[in-house]
């Protein structure tokens, strides 16, 4: 009984650890499990039903256990690892035979609900959950072809998690698949608790302003990415899928676009491109025209802008940065606060505070219009992580425009384009265009 006592000492600080003796086909077996993860009474009932069909086939315990589970070494660390993963372990003391099996688990996950961070106009209203097994089933409902392949990895030494790699065998590029496999294999020892850890595991630069992968909780988006030849990763207890690689085209293309007529689809995508350019360039253009190059404007427009900035004590750069910081604080507060309070904070910050700032002559009324419009335009970008990148580039252009005017604005645009062209995601250039869909000939 040394193993039983060693395990009891190992789990001495685990109040949910359970060790009991059960009787199967005349054998007394020790059961090890966590009762917060395993439905022990139902599992024992299932085992009793299962072994009824084995009467006469198991002449000794070494023949019984492999028929109901997977044989394993009777080692404290190996058994503890299986127990902590939510499995059940059976052990026969006299012969020291040991096996692990999948028990009936206690239901700890929520039911499939509607997406919380992404809106769907035409498409499935289901979303991914924390349970990776449920996510596999949801994705298979949207990708029913025989070419869908799944590879499972266990990552992390201290806190192991299951990482699943999905791809379509007839669509994925072999170099992309092999590159991803190699990076996962080389980083399997790293624990994953957030997306920065995933970036480190995939050996991507964590100091890049551009996201190297897209995150989605919509199954149809993950299935569409697979059809484009991309790779989808799922991690246990992460309620979303990770799409690799991330490309610039993902900022304005999404699966729902294909539910519109073709001309409307292209118009919507063109509108998103206009939103991306407006959110990035317009604030810097305002600063350049107001503070450095007012001679570019028509006389009537220049006088109108000068009138709106009358009695404003700060230069254009300072008032723009201050108001942008206030807008970022309002947006951050609306995200963190409860849903019942968030809209109220947004209204107070966006309307009352803005109107008060104009009345107090702290900022110009034209700047309120410019920044409100660009904030709305940045929200038209597909993917929240992509809109954050646009905000960073916006500040770069504002600073360069305040120093060098229109020349600085144009230089900043060139620098940003060069930076984006330099970036890669899993060896794929960021500015590359996804290949055509082989089935319907439409772009992603």
For the stretch 298-317, pLDDT in tens is 888 888 888 888 888 888 89
pLDDT at residue 349, as a whole number: 65
The Cα 93–Cα 96 span in angstroms is 5
**Both tokens assigned to 308:** 């709106």
Tell me what the pLDDT averaged over the chain comes to.
84
Separation CA 430–CA 251 (nearest Å) = 11
Q: Among 113-127, 146-160, 239-253, 371-385, which is the least confidently predicted range?
A: 113-127
| For range 157-174, the mean pLDDT | 89
Question: Do 283 and 394 touch, CB atoms closer than 8 A?
Answer: yes
Q: What are phi and psi of 116, to 5 degrees?
A: -105, -25
pLDDT tens-digit profile of 80-109?
988 988 899 998 888 888 889 888 888 777
Q: How many CA atoms lie within 13 A of 269 on its CB side?
A: 20
Q: Is the pLDDT of residue 197 over 70?
A: yes
Q: Is the pLDDT of residue 425 over 90?
A: no
**Is the predicted pLDDT of residue 280 greater than 90, yes or no?**
yes
Taking a C-beta distance cutoff of 8 angstroms, is the pair 283, 374 a contact?
yes
Residue 389: the pLDDT is 83
How much is the pLDDT for 180? 92
Question: What residue spans of 235-378 are helical by DSSP H?
Answer: 262-291, 299-308, 316-336, 342-347, 353-359, 365-378
Q: Give the pLDDT band of residue 438 (cuts 50, 70, 90).
A: very low
pLDDT at 65 over 80: no
Confirm whether pTM is higher than 0.75.
yes
């Amino acid at each position: 009984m040394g193993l039983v006592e060693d395990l009891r000492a190992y789990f001495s600080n685990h109040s949910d650890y359970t060790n009991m003796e059960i009787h199967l086909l005349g054998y007394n077996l020790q059961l090890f499990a966590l009762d917060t993860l395993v439905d022990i009474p139902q599992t024992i009932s299932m085992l009793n039903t299962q072994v009824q069909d084995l009467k006469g086939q198991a002449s000794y315990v070494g023949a019984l256990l492999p028929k109901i589970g997977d044989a394993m070494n009777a080692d404290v660390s190996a058994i503890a690892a299986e127990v902590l993963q939510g499995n059940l372990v059976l052990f026969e003391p006299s012969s020291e035979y040991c096996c692990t099996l999948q028990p009936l688990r206690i239901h700890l996950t929520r039911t499939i609900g509607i997406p919380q961070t992404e809106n769907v106009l035409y498409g499935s209203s289901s979303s991914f959950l924390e349970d990776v097994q449920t996510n596999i089933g949801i994705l298979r409902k949207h990708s029913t072809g025989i070419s869908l392949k799944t590879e499972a990895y266990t990552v992390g030494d201290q806190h192991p998690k299951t990482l699943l790699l999905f791809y379509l065998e007839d669509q994925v590029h072999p170099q992309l698949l092999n590159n991803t496999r190699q990076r996962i294999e080389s980083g399997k020892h790293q624990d994953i608790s957030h997306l920065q850890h995933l970036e480190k595991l995939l050996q991507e630069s964590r100091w890049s302003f551009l996201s190297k992968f897209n995150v989605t909780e919509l199954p149809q988006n993950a299935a569409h990415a697979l059809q484009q030849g991309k790779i989808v990763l799922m991690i246990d207890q992460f309620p979303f899928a990770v799409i690799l690689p991330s490309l610039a085209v993902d900022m304005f293309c999404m699966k729902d676009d294909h539910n519109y007529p073709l001309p409307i689809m292209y118009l919507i995508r063109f509108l998103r491109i206009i939103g991306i350019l407006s959110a990035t360039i317009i604030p810097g253009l305002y600063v350049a025209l107001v503070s450095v190059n007012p001679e570019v404007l028509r006389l009537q427009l220049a006088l109108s802008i000068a009138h709106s900035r009358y009695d404003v004590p700060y230069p254009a750069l300072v008032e723009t940065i201050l108001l942008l910081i206030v807008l970022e604080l309002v947006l951050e507060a609306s995200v963190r606060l409860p849903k019942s309070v968030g809209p109220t904070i947004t209204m107070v910050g966006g309307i009352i505070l803005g109107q008060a700032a104009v009345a107090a002559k702290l900022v110009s009324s034209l700047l309120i219009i410019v920044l409100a419009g660009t904030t709305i335009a940045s929200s038209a970008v597909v993917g929240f992580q992509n809109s954050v990148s646009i905000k960073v580039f916006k500040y770069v252009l504002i600073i360069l425009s305040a120093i060098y005017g229109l020349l600085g604005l144009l230089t900043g645009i060139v620098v940003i384009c060069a930076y984006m062209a330099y970036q890669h995601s899993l060896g794929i250039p960021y500015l590359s265009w996804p290949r055509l869909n082989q089935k319907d000939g439409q772009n992603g």
